[in-house]
Structure 1
């Protein structure tokens, strides 16, 4: 999963672990996750140096994480800082609170964004984020 990593981003390590967790899913677990989320999440994350990196979590077709913009039309595009993503992934920040305070911006189906937290939590249990 090293092809997911981008130097200078905390999100890079988290998403790499998430990808590893997805790879460890059985077919049944993967199908269950896809059925629950049924969406493609494009993450646009900006680090402290104002550099942006893009990752996609595909929980509609493949159940994978990859670097770069969504290959299919994303259900939601989420824009946030690297720190905000790290806090969301570690359960230190609630997604709705981040959205309401402007730390998280969405484009597309905002309700789909609410399904990201359970995905992170499920993989967190498997990958020990």
Structure 2
């Protein structure tokens, strides 16, 4: 998924890997992820240079990275996203310290850790 990759963002590498994992899911795994998460996540990520990029993941109908209207927008730095993806911190800790902000369905944002954790075993994040 080359359209997921954006130069200057470690987040884009992780999301490209996540997209590959989603594409490799069998129907049962895909249905499980959709049922468990049931939402559209948008990530607005600021890199070290201060530039912002965004990605949208549909975990409501397709388990793909798309450009849909999100149920929740998660705003964080590239480094914070990498730390959450690698399990070095949690979304809740990042939120409590101000490193992660949300717009929209905040309860859906709490599922971010689970989404990333469930793919960690299938892909090296």
What's the TM-score bracket when you normalise by the shorter of the two chains?
over 0.9
Match of 2:99 among 88, 97, 103: 103
TM-score with structure 1 length normalisation? 0.93
User: 1:11-41 CA deviation, whole Å, 9 max, x = no partner?
Assistant: 0100000000001100110011000000000
Q: Which runs of 5 or more structure 2 residues have no equivalent in the other structure?
A: none
With structure 2 as the length reference, what TM-score do the two structures score?
0.96
The offset of 1:123, in angstroms, is: 1.3
Q: Which runs of 5+ in 1 are unaligned?
A: none
Aligned mates of 1:53, 1:41 — CA distance in 2: 14
Q: How does 1:45-124 map to 2 (within 5 A)?
A: 45-66=45-66, 70-71=67-68, 73-124=69-120
Distance (whole Å) between structure 1 residues aligned to residue 58 and residue 112 of structure 2: 11
Aligned residue for 1:19, secondary structure, equals helix
Stretches (4+) displaced over 6 A: none
Task: Map Cα deviations across residues 75-107 of structure 1 (whole Å, 9 max, x no partner).
Answer: 110000000000000000111110011000000
Give, in whole Å, the separation in 2 of the partners of 1:49 and 1:126. 31
Alignment size in residue pairs: 125
Q: CA–CA distance in 2 between the matches of 1:22 and 1:109?
A: 23
Partner of 1:31: 31
Distance 1:47 1:79 in 2: 11
Identify the residue that residue 21 of structure 2 maps to in structure 1: 21
Structure-2 separation of matches of 1:96 and 1:118: 12
